[in-house]
Chains A and B, each alone.
Chain A
């Protein structure tokens, strides 16, 4: 049976059994299959013995910590790994992501968000082949986001997102210049093609709406970020 997003097997690793149980239960309700592990060594064993599509991994664990386990896994596998950690510092996130994590969720997590992230990562991993075709047509690609300029359509992990015309213009502008910061005036004058005056509010409202559509957790956006006191940008991946 080829694994799909709906019947994927997920390995949940955490030294706190209650948390592992809770997560497994949560994922099972959503229709996933789960395997439990309580430290890094067990996780490696489980990975060797089972066909696993995604790993949820805690960082601080006995015997072998999450980061070390992840490094080992990344030597042979490229399955999505979501780090689940109580460490919420930027430095921790950067470290985790640079070692090989695909996503980083801080404890205590929002169950809905966690599920959404699991889905997102699975979708990207599993539908890579078919996605490849669609992605091939795409004009701009950045992480999970891709833009089809001809269709004026934004995709997240291949899924189309419904945007208004103005929202699309903003996304396209930011995507074309991923990583560059645009001030509200710039965005306004480029997307509205009008003289800009006191447009911060207008632009910000649109940004917020876009964020709600493309971000899993709009409060902690992954792509569309506000650069406080300067402007807005889409993070380059």
Chain B
């Protein structure tokens, strides 16, 4: 079932309240509606706090309007909730620095994130906004993996970064703005260029 042709999307079949499971309704900024199980919502610190504060009963969920998430579109939100349903009940990593941050991308996540870069960056932004720690971890890891072993030119293509020429224009604009720091950085940049970029780094 695709988001585009269905007004209400059950991200996870198991979330349908046959067993009287508690779930919530959310609405994206393009008016797509999602039903998400309570357990899945716990993956998002932001949404979890929100629903706790609202204290809805099952009747409230049906009778009151869906909770609006105003700055995330339906396409992105679908991915977010699919991820949350798949990983519901899993422990949320605590970033207290006590464990080394080695992030593996599970197969499900890899498939979920097999999307274009624009959508991937939206997903990252949403994971950060909704405070879904592990989704933020794996999505940032995916972006990081794209960089591995590349040259600057390859990276510009991967990440759609400005070319040298475009950069030059930005540099001129920065200098015109009389930002002393920008000029300092430029001079160093130019100096390294003059030295022939003779470091691998």
> Do chains A and B stick together as partners?
no
